[in-house]
Structure 1
Amino acid sequence: MNSMNTNYSIRDEIRDFWSERAATFDESVGHEIFSEAERKGWQRLIRKHLGEGQGRAALDLACGTAVVSHLMNDVGFRVTGLDWSDAMLAQARAKARKRGTDIRFISGDAENTMEPRESYDVITNRHLVWTLVDPPAAFREWFSVLRPGGKVLILDGNMGKETWVKGLQKFWTKATGKAPASHMKPEMMARHQSIRSRVYFSEQMPAEAVVALLRQAGFENITVDRQLFDIHWAQARRMPFLRALDRLTQDRFAICAHKPA
């Protein structure tokens, strides 16, 4: 980071943070998919809200290493993955070559995609909304990029919400002097927390707050779906005990919103 450079913004910091995580991103449960049960869970969720792809155009925002992009490709969408981290895109392209998929990848900002207006039938993203500096503007951008009748599917959660497991983790750390196992090193965790403190949803991100901003952007017929147990159970089975408990008690959700036809 270059804190002396006044042109180095929170957006640059977010991009650089995820670029540094690109090489090891797919090693973590909850990022890449490590079981057929989890893969089927995600595909079930996608079909539930978006239906079969049937060649429809999908834009996967902040695609990272293309986990969701591949899920969308699996169910028949014609997928474009967008990310502004070149390191993440390099991983995504390598994965697509290895799997023999025809996913298109482009460099861009999820808050200002620069994609043509009304050019996509579906927009997806996972764990993106909490990183947005200006969600109202981002949602207006997504609305404009969707064709009439198009849908956005947001996969995220209220990670700042206190749960009894988080309380247990704090007790464990205080009693033993050992923090629960983490997929991030302490220095990266500190940077993650610093970024989190300065974005729009700096504390909690309840689904209801996201829904309100989507409505303001013009979306309608908005559904909040918390029926994700099959996905979380498949993930938890591959996590250390306390992380697994945390995953099963977190307020994670899918939000599907429609652009009027």
Structure 2
Amino acid sequence: MTQHEQTGEDVKQVVQRYWDDRADSFDDDSQHGIHSDEQREAWLSVLRPWTGEPPKQVLDIGCGTGVISLLLAELGHDVTGVDFAPEMLERARTKVEQSELSVEFQRGDAENLAQRDDAYDLVTARHLIWTLPTPEHAIDEWRRVVKPGGRLVLIEGHWDFSEVFEGYEEIHDDLPLYDGRPPEELAAFLGEQGLENVEYEPLAKSALWGQEPNYEKYIMAGDVPE
């Protein structure tokens, strides 16, 4: 194993601990969880056109507590959620048990997926790519598991806070997309990774977040070449 790979694995362990520690309170934040029927309907109205007609085979990567996974299942998709943080997955599984929906959750590494080639119609990820040591390799992996002609849909943002996130002080310089990116920059990055027809739209409505968003947020999609 090279020094770079060792560093990457160390970074991932820090990221895992950070999100495991946040699992209990993650959904309490209105910008993360779903706190009202209005917020739920707002997200369904966004996801519906970007994910297309159900049922699709969807892999929700970095699924966390399953917020987007469950919304996609509610839209009629067949959803598998993957996350690196076991405590987040436990909360996601509890949500499914308390619902009438069906979602499978698995532990996995967004940059080294266990899923087979061409297994999904769609990959989704929300606020994930900034946490990855090698995002270009992640996109290659996500493309690998999506069928030709399938789609990647990312919910992302761009922030430029003066303070580093608590828990990320030692690793933020090892994350190429830390702080997110403006949509035009991320669109260019996806294009460089071979995705086609990359498009995006802002997610500025307060109904989505339970408050006025405090940084730029957007949804973006790109097609896997046929």
Q: State TM-score, norm by structure 2.
A: 0.89
Give runs of aligned pairs for residues 165-180 of structure 1, distance below 5 A: none
1:28 is displaced (CA, Å) by: 1.1
CA contact (8 A) 1:149 1:259 kept: yes
| Partner residue, 2:210 | 235
Specify the SS of the correspondent of 1:52: coil
| Partner residue, 2:86 | 86
Q: How many residues align?
A: 220
Give runs of aligned pairs for residues 94-243 of structure 1, distance below 5 A: 94-160=94-160, 189-203=165-179, 205-229=181-205, 231-232=207-208, 235-236=210-211
CA contact (8 A) 2:126 2:154 kept: yes
CA contact (8 A) 1:143 1:217 kept: no
Amino acid at match of 1:101: L
Amino acid at match of 1:41: A
Q: Measure, in 2, the Cα distance between the counterparts of 1:113 and 1:207.
A: 25
Q: Deviations over 1:1-42 (max 9, x none)?
A: xxxxx8761111001110111111111111111111111111
CA contact (8 A) 2:81 2:104 kept: yes
Specify the SS of the correspondent of 2:176: coil
Specify the SS of the correspondent of 2:101: coil
CA contact (8 A) 1:139 1:213 kept: no
Gaps of 5+ in 1: 1-5, 171-187, 237-243
Provide the aligned C-alpha RMSD in A. 2.1
Q: Measure, in 2, the Cα distance between the counterparts of 1:190 and 1:61.
A: 23
Specify the SS of the correspondent of 2:24: helix
| Partner residue, 1:250 | 215
Q: Measure, in 2, the Cα distance between the counterparts of 1:40 and 1:98.
A: 19
CA contact (8 A) 1:220 1:260 kept: yes
| Partner residue, 1:46 | 47
Amino acid at match of 2:128: L
Amino acid at match of 1:73: A
CA contact (8 A) 1:43 1:75 kept: yes
Q: Deviations over 1:110-137 (max 9, x none)?
A: 1111210000001111110111111111
Counting aligned pairs with the same residue, the percent is: 29
Q: Compared with structure 1, are the counterparts of its residues 25 and 227 closer, same or farther at alpha carbon in structure 2 (3 Å cutoff)?
A: closer
Structure index of larger Rg: 1
1:208 is displaced (CA, Å) by: 2.2
Q: Measure, in 1, the Cα distance between the counterparts of 2:139 and 2:67.
A: 22
Specify the SS of the correspondent of 2:194: coil
CA contact (8 A) 2:124 2:154 kept: yes
Specify the SS of the correspondent of 2:181: coil
For structure 1, which segment, 120-129 or 34-43, has the greater mean C-alpha deviation from structure 2 after superposition?
34-43
Q: Whose helix proportion is higher, 1 or 2?
A: 1
1:227 is displaced (CA, Å) by: 4.7
Q: Compared with structure 1, are the counterparts of its residues 38 and 195 closer, same or farther at alpha carbon in structure 2 (3 Å cutoff)?
A: farther
Q: Measure, in 2, the Cα distance between the counterparts of 1:121 and 1:81.
A: 14
Q: State TM-score, norm by structure 1.
A: 0.78
Q: Whose strand proportion is higher, 1 or 2?
A: 2
Q: Deviations over 1:135-175 (max 9, x none)?
A: 11111111111001111110010022x6xxx8xxx9xxxxx
For structure 1, which segment, 93-102 or 202-211, has the greater mean C-alpha deviation from structure 2 after superposition?
202-211
Amino acid at match of 1:212: A
Q: Compared with structure 1, are the counterparts of its residues 220 and 231 closer, same or farther at alpha carbon in structure 2 (3 Å cutoff)?
A: farther
Q: Deviations over 1:166-212 (max 9, x none)?
A: 8xxx9xxxxxxxxxxxxxxxxx9421354434311234512222222
